[in-house]
Chain A
Amino acid sequence: MKAETLLKVENMTVRFAVKRGRGFGKNAHLHAVDDVSFTVKCGETLAIVGESGSGKTTTALAVARLVNSYKGKVLLGDTDLLALGDEDLRQARARVQFIFQDPYSSLNPRLRASDIVREPMDSLGDMSEAEKSERVDFLFNAVGLRPEQQRLFPHQFSGGQRQRIGIARALATQPELIICDEPVSALDVAVQAQILNLLRKLQKDFGLTYLFISHDLGVVQHMCDSIAVMYMGKIVEHGSRLDIFNAPQHPYTRALLSAVPSVDKARRAQTKRILIPGDPPDPVNLPAGCRFANRCPVVQDICRRDEPELRNGVACHFPNAEL
């Protein structure tokens, strides 16, 4: 595997203005993604995991510039995507493509499957009509759809097949980075396996790099080379697949892992469920100190005062504390 870095995100912050009270005074800001940095190596998969509201989808959207970042850098190779102007950005879009969560709402119901797959090439590429048709044929074959299905409309496909169309569309412009936002969570379990196997096969065949967003730790474990765990807009732990799953350090990561129900009897017997009571804090009025402090089983005074920084892959004052 090549070791060069493809995507480098530096201190990215995304914030949204929210109205509070009766409209007087300053608008408050919700920091959905707060000072996040990570890298993805060429040909590898980085997973961002976290619960709903942790900012993982916003991170993905911001990397693809589908929402605007407030500050930070997104370096794809040597280009900073956040600094690009209109036409340069349009060109750069061919290099980053997106697979969306819900295959029912992310395909245009009025277009035939072949046109859906062709569309990115129409707007982003400079191929001739014949080349485009050839590439559509090739992509349909690569994602496991039959050639005669090109004429059909989205409603004539099952959920798994629609997701295959979404994947073919993402591959159309031969992107370097593909962002998969919960690509299987809307699918039935048996169909999930088909799509996950397909994504891994495509990665091997075409040398793709994935930024993989998911809340399902089982899926993440299967798909990824490294993992970033997010909580309330911050990365709390970032490490390789084996480190995170075999030796998690942050109490939140450990609670998250212990909460996943398992069919493995040995694992059930040896994991003690770490319960984190309560709810996450209000994202607009974040408390001082560590954002996880109000639910953390090993919280101490310093946690409520100073915000821990990401050091050695973990943002915690007391990593590996006895839980």
Chain B
Amino acid sequence: MALLSVKNLRIEIKTRAGVAPVIDDLSFDLDAGESLSFVGESGCGKSMTALALMGLLPEGVGSVASGSITFDGEDLTQASEARLRALRGNDISMIFQEPMTSLNPLYTVGEQIAEVLRAHQGLSRKQAWDQAVELLDAVRIPNARARAEDYPFQMSGGQRQRVMIAIALACQPKILIADEPTTALDVTVQAQIFDLLQDMRRQTGSAIILITHDMGAVAEMAERMIVMYAGRKAELGPVDTIIAHPRHPYTAGLISCVPHILSTLTSEREDLVEVPGIVPALQDFGKDLCLFASRCRHAQPKCVNQRPPEIAFGNTHQAACWRAEEL
């Protein structure tokens, strides 16, 4: 059985124009120890999915309208606030995008790591501190015992993100959600963080959900990916299969619109394939049509009349496009 199973999840957000589904009929499974990636442009519901899994949807604005999130046999959408608090940071934890703003500037990083251990595992102050130092060492911060007494402002961006990873992995969670963990960092630091995440995953056996817009990062980090567009799942499948042969035109656009560094560069430089236009506005999200149709070069009349079903290719690969079979 899957570790995490999301079924027909619908998350609604209240806007001035009414209620809009930011996540619309999303289903997927995550196995223990697996690495899954969410890809898409901003405003496509990637981060909302992550917040829903953590039970952290903005109160009074967003809520789960229907569907279920089953973690280890327990439906998180029905769980009490106290139960969620026990799970968060312990069984499911999250790394946020901005390592600058997600640490508390008034506490040393050692205290912030130890806090998690004291809260969830009932360790004493001394034990928790010792383990925090070990964790800092595990995320390869040199001279960990001394650095544990540093405040966040004394560390570089990459080191802060390592501290965030140490906090997230302190209780050896079953699922680690990384929401654009490297967008604020330089490429060489990004490479270090990716290596670290892969190593930690091997050691702790945590499943990783990586949220990103960078196809290169997906190819390097994940086994399976879900392409999100306007709150809906556009395509789901193994990373290699999808990159070799994307079935949804949006996926194809996402891959080819970025200039990639190839193994041997030639003097040829083709124009990039454009995906014209932008993601539709929130009030259009719920409509019964393919929301990508207005930007799609393969669009047909059918696409603007009816929402496309998910067409399966084998057991593992699905794409929500009327023309997926021909593409």
Residues of A within 8 A of B (CB): 51-52, 158, 160, 188-194, 196-197, 200, 215, 217-219, 221-223, 241-242, 245-246, 255-268, 270-271, 273, 275-279
Contacts and interface: CB of A to CB of B under 8 A. Distances in A.
15 contacts: A51-B188, A190-B41, A192-B257, A193-B274, A194-B276, A218-B258, A218-B261, A256-B187, A259-B188, A261-B190, A261-B214, A261-B217, A267-B263, A271-B263, A273-B195
B260 A188 contact: no
A262 B274 contact: no
Given A52-B186, A261-B194, A263-B243, A197 B260 contact: no
B272 A222 contact: yes
Contact of B219 (A160, A189, A259, A268): A268
Contacts of A255: 188
Contacts of A196: 259, 272
Contact of B259 (A160, A194, A219, A275): A219
Given A193-B275, A279-B156, A267 B257 contact: no
Interface residues of B, number: 49
A276 B190 CA distance: 11
Nearest to A160: B278
A241 B265 contact: yes
A185 to B, nearest CB: 10
A56 to B, nearest CB: 12
Given A189-B41, A192-B258, A263 B219 contact: yes
B257 A189 contact: yes
B269 A190 contact: no
Nearest to A190: B275
Contact of B216 (A158, A193, A245, A262): A262
Interface of B: 41-42, 142, 156, 158-159, 186-192, 194-195, 213-221, 240, 243, 253-255, 257-267, 269, 271-276, 278-279
Given A193-B257, A197-B274, A222-B269, A263 B215 contact: yes
A256 B243 CA distance: 24
B222 to A, nearest CB: 11
Contacts of B159: 279
Contact of A259 (B191, B271, B272): B191
Given A158-B278, A256-B188, A259-B190, A190 B257 contact: yes
Contacts of B214: 189, 261
A40 B220 CA distance: 35
Contacts of A193: 257-258, 272-275
Nearest to B219: A263
The 8 closest A-B pairs by CB, nearest first: A222-B259, A261-B216, A193-B257, A259-B191, A51-B186, A267-B263, A190-B275, A193-B272
Nearest to B270: A222
A49 B255 CA distance: 23
Given A197-B271, A279-B158, A270 B263 contact: yes
Contacts of A263: 215-216, 218-219, 243, 255, 260
A168 to B, nearest CB: 19
Nearest to A255: B188
Given A188-B213, A268-B220, A262 B271 contact: no
Contacts of A219: 259
B216 to A, nearest CB: 3
Given A190-B274, A194-B274, A279-B156, 15 more contacts: A51-B189, A193-B257, A215-B186, A218-B258, A218-B260, A219-B259, A222-B269, A241-B265, A259-B190, A261-B220, A262-B260, A264-B260, A267-B262, A277-B192, A278-B142
